[in-house]
Amino acid sequence: MKQKTVFLCGDCGYESPKWYGKCPSCGAWNTMSEFKEKPVSAARGTNTFQRGESRPTLLKDIDTGDESRFHSGIGELDRVLGGGAVHGSFVLVGGEPGIGKSTLLLQMCQEMCKNARVLYVSGEESLKQIKIRAARLHISSPELYILAETDMEQIINETELLEPDILIVDSIQTVYKRDLTAAPGGTTQIKECAMSLMQYAKNRNVTIFIVGHVNKEGTLAGPKILEHMVDCVLYFEGESAGPFRCLRAAKNRYGSTNEIGVFEMSDHGLLEVQNPSAAMLAGHPQGASGNCIACVMEGSRPLLAEVQALAAKTQFGVPRRTAAGVDYNRMVLLLAILEKRCGLFLSSSDVYVNVVGGMRLDEPAVDLPMVLAIASSFRDKPLPEGVMSFGEVGLTGELRAVSNPGQRINEAYRLGFHTCIMPMQDVDEDLLQKMNIVRAKTVGDAIRAVL
C-alpha cells in the first residue's frame, strides 16, 4: 500500500493533506511539517479494541466488574482522581518541566506497590538517577519495578512479560515507535504511542499514568490530541520558585473536575498541605496597603488566599498592567469599572496584581477582593485588620451573589477573621453571631465600608 503524506502542526496537532505557511487551526506560522503515515490498515491494526468485543451489547448486559480503585496513599492525589485511580483507567499528568511530576508519581508508587504490581518506565532518567531520587524521597519499596527505556515496542514487550497492574510512563515526549519516521516528541509519535498505551490499558485492564510536559504557552506539546483519548487529565501547576504546587483535574471520567490537591515541595519530596488556607496566609503583612484576603471555593473546599495589588503612577506613556494568579482580562475589566463607577482614576497608574503563594484563582468571587486591594493601594490606605471578602462584580459595579457563602465565612472564622465584606445575599443566622458581616450593594459601597 502507498504511504500517505500528511502535514501536522507542531503546536496544535492540526492535520492536513496540504502544507500551509500558517496553521489554519491555531494560526501559528511555519509550524506545519511533513510526515509519512503508514498505510491506514497496518497503522490502525494494533489500535483496534480486541476483535470480537466490538459487537453491539445491551446496556443491561454489560459487566463492569467493580469500579475498584487503587489508592495512592497521597490523600490530595486521590481526591483529585475522584477517590483513587480506577482500575484500567488512563491518566495523563501534565505540567511544566521541573514542577514535580516525576516526584509525585514516584512517591505514589510507595503505597501502590503494597497492593499491586507497579512498573515505572522512565525515558528521561537512568536507573541510577531514579534510585538516587527514590533514596532522597525515602522510597524503599522492594516491590517496585523500574525500566529505563524509550522504545515503545520494548516497553510493551516488557510490560507483557511482567504484567503489572499499574504502568507509569515518564514521559510521553521521550518514547517513540521505531516504525514511524517522525521524531520523538512530535505530534505523530505522541499520538501513536499514547494510542498504543491506551489500547493496552483497555484490553488488559492495566492502569496507566503518562507524564506529558507542557510548553511555555501552557499547551501539552502535541496538545489536545492527548486530552480526548485519556480518561483523566491532571495538571500540576505552581511557580517553580515558590514552594506550593496545585494539582487540578482538567478532565475526569471517574470524578469531579473541581477538586484540587495542594502540595508543598521540600527536600524530601512533595508534602501534602492539610490546611491550605493557613499555608497561603503565612507571612501576610499587617497594616500594609494594597492587599485583601479572598475566599474562593476550590471544588468542595473553601480556600483563603491573599490578593495583592500595587497601583503606582505611570512614568511615561501607556500604563502597565500585569496579573499573576488572576485572569488578566478580568483585572482590566475591574479597573475600568473602578474608574467609571467609583471615580478611581487609574488610567494614569501602572497596576500590578498578584496572588501570594503561586495559586491561580479563577473563580468570579475573587473580583471583590481584587477591587478592594487595588483601591487600597491606589489610596495608600490599608484595609482594617481581620477583614476578608468575596463577591462577583458586575459591569454596572453591582455586587453579585456567589455560591456557598456559609462555607467561606466558616473557613474565614476558623482562621481568625472577624469581618466579611460580601454581596447582598442570605447567610445563616448563626454566622451573623460569630462574624461581622457587611453586605454591600455596589463596589462603591464596599470600598466606602472599609477604606
Q: Which stretches of the chain bind ligand ADP, using CB under 6 A?
A: 95, 97-103, 136, 240, 265, 267
Lookup result for grid cell 497503522: 43
Other CB atoms closer than 10 Å to residue 335's CB: what's the count?
23
Lookup result for grid cell 520523538: 184
The values of phi and psi at residue 283, to 5°, are 85, 10
| One-letter amino acid of 381 | K
335 interacts with, out of ligand ADP, Mg ion, none, CB within 5 to 8 A per kind: none
| One-letter amino acid of 87 | H
Beta bridge partners of 209: 91, 168
Query: Annotated binding residue at 302?
Result: no
User: Which lies closer to ligand ADP via its Cβ, residue 123 or residue 290?
Assistant: 123
Rounded CA gap, 237 and 258, in Å?
15
Task: Tell how strand 419-423 and strand 436-440 pair up.
Answer: parallel
Other CB atoms closer than 10 Å to residue 272's CB: what's the count?
14
User: Which lies closer to Mg ion via its Cβ, residue 102 or residue 107?
Assistant: 102
Establish if 107 lies at the interface with Mg ion (CB under 5 A): no
State in angstroms the smallest separation of the CB of 378 from ligand ADP.
37
State in angstroms the smallest separation of the CB of 124 from Mg ion.
5
User: Which lies closer to Mg ion via its Cβ, residue 125 or residue 350?
Assistant: 125
Near Mg ion by CB under 5 A, which window of 94-102, 172-180, 217-225, 288-296? 94-102
User: Which lies closer to ligand ADP via its Cβ, residue 97 or residue 285?
Assistant: 97
User: Which lies closer to ligand ADP via its Cβ, residue 44 or residue 136?
Assistant: 136
State in angstroms the smallest separation of the CB of 399 from Mg ion.
44
State in angstroms the smallest separation of the CB of 318 from ligand ADP.
36
Rounded CA gap, 365 and 389, in Å?
9
Proportion of the chain in helix, strand, coil states, percent, rounded to 5? 30, 30, 40
408-427 residues near Mg ion, rule: CB under 5 A: none
Establish if 102 lies at the interface with Mg ion (CB under 5 A): yes
Other CB atoms closer than 10 Å to residue 441's CB: what's the count?
12
Residue nearest to Mg ion (CB): 102
103 interacts with, out of ligand ADP, Mg ion, none, CB within 5 to 8 A per kind: ligand ADP
Query: Annotated binding residue at 125?
Result: no
User: Which lies closer to ligand ADP via its Cβ, residue 102 or residue 110?
Assistant: 102
The values of phi and psi at residue 320, to 5°, are -90, 145
State in angstroms the smallest separation of the CB of 170 from Mg ion.
6
State in angstroms the smallest separation of the CB of 114 from ligand ADP.
22
Query: Annotated binding residue at 102?
Result: yes
Query: Annotated binding residue at 99?
Result: yes
Rounded CA gap, 382 and 286, in Å?
9
Task: Please give the grid coordinates belonging to residue 269.
Answer: 519530596
Element (H, E) at 168: strand 166-170
Beta bridge partners of 166: 118, 207
Query: Annotated binding residue at 101?
Result: yes
Binding residues: 95-102
Contacts with Mg ion by CB under 5 A lie at: 102
